[in-house]
Chains A and B, each alone.
Chain A
Amino acid sequence: DTGVSQDPRHKITKRGQNVTFRCDPISEHNRLYWYRQTLGQGPEFLTYFQNEAQLEKSRLLSDRFSAERPKGSFSTLEIQRTEQGDSAMYLCASSSQGQGINEQFFGPGTRLTVL
């Protein structure tokens, strides 16, 4: 399978705990995005990488959130001191700079539940 993959698919945690999600983009895609989707809403942009550089961050990305993309391949999204309001689906997408304008391919998402 050469699509975007995310791990884990589901995560249940207690309030105050730290969680980390991983995203593996499509090979050769140099752009990677993180979105958050709550129930009944469309995805909301969190942050964007071009290769290993984090070029844009949404105001939704509080200081409890940090994302990395070492070596410009996979990416991790960490949430520290989770809150119940962090419960959502976290979606990762990737795209190629030379493959049309921003045609983003999405992964299956990680559903986070904070108890």
Chain B
Amino acid sequence: AQKVTQAQTEISVVEKEDVTLDCVYETRDTTYYLFWYKQPPSGELVFLIRRNSFDEQNEISGRYSWNFQKSTSSFNFTITASQVVDSAVYFCALDTGRRALTFGSGTRLQVQP
């Protein structure tokens, strides 16, 4: 069985602060994919990144960066210099080839001006 845990239910920061969203996953499969999605107040899930289990290189995209560590089964997401527009619920998800994504319960990020 697979499971994704996002222990942080809600985080509140002030604009320009850096913030890290944690994601821990469980799977017995050796090949799998990890995702992060953003869900703004409008409700539509927006794809942010995909990472496969064989690629542990960290990735940076603008103010976003991701740290994948197989040893701790974690795939954390950092926003640098947060902005009000970053306010949303962020979901981590796992795909073990079954086609269905297994989502965590999400972390609500509030960025105060």
Contacts and interface: CB of A to CB of B under 8 A. Distances in A.
Interface in B1-51: 4, 33, 35, 37, 42-47, 50
Nearest to B43: A109
A35 to B, nearest CB: 8
Contacts, number: 61
Interface residues of B, number: 24
Contacts of A103: 35, 47, 50
Contact of A58 (B43, B45, B100): B100
B37 to A, nearest CB: 8
Interface string B82-113: 00000000010101001111111110000000
A112 to B, nearest CB: 13
Interface of A: 31, 33, 35, 40-45, 48, 55-56, 58, 89, 91, 93, 100-109, 111
